[in-house]
């Protein structure tokens, strides 16, 4: 059964670290990724456990792509296989100044 996640009940920039285990069990994973990123403080770390088909390095890349494509103010910094069923995708939120710089230059391209 897929769960519905619309909004985490926390203010922006509330946490230094957020871990989510159930990315594959929510109805719209993109909303969960965006909410985790929203509640992270600048330079905070987010960690998502994503279902794995195997521990092969190509599967690690495949598990990273959906997460990294959704991140607006963070970058993936680490990916690892936890076991045969889960991959760990770790990302770091950029500082506010870096995010403003990135957004400004992305819009002016």
56-96 per-position pLDDT tens digit: 667 777 778 888 999 999 999 999 988 878 889 999 999 87
More confident residue, 14 or 56: 14
Model pTM?
A: 0.80
- Start-to-end Cα distance in the chain: 42
CA distances from residue 30 to 27, 37, 45, 52, 109 in whole angstroms, order as listed: 9, 11, 17, 18, 25
Report the half-sphere exposure of 56 (CA within 13 A, side-chain side). Answer: 5
Among 34, 11, 15, which residue's Cα sits nearest to residue 23?
Answer: 34
- Asked if residues 91 and 57 have their Cβ atoms less than 8 Å apart, the reply is no
CATH architecture under which domain 15-107 falls: 3-Layer(aba) Sandwich (3.40)
Q: How far is CA 23 from the centre of its chain?
A: 9
Q: In which order are the strands placed within the sheet that holds 86-93?
A: 15-20, 40-51, 86-93, 74-81
The predicted pLDDT at position 24 comes to: 78
CA distances from residue 34 to 29, 42, 57, 71 in whole angstroms, order as listed: 9, 14, 25, 7
Which 3 state secondary structure label does DSSP give 4? coil
């Amino acid at each position: 059964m897929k769960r519905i996640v619309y909004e985490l009940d926390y203010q922006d920039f509330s946490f230094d670290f957020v871990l989510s285990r159930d990315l594959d069990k929510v109805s719209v994973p993109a909303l969960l990724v965006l909410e985790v990123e929203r509640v992270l403080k600048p330079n905070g770390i987010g960690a998502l456990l994503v279902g794995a088909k195997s521990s092969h390095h190509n599967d690690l890349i495949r598990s990273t792509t959906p997460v990294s494509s959704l991140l607006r103010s963070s970058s993936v910094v680490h990916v690892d296989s936890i076991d045969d069923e889960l991959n760990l995708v770790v990302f770091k939120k950029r500082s506010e100044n870096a995010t403003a710089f990135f957004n400004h230059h992305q819009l002016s391209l």
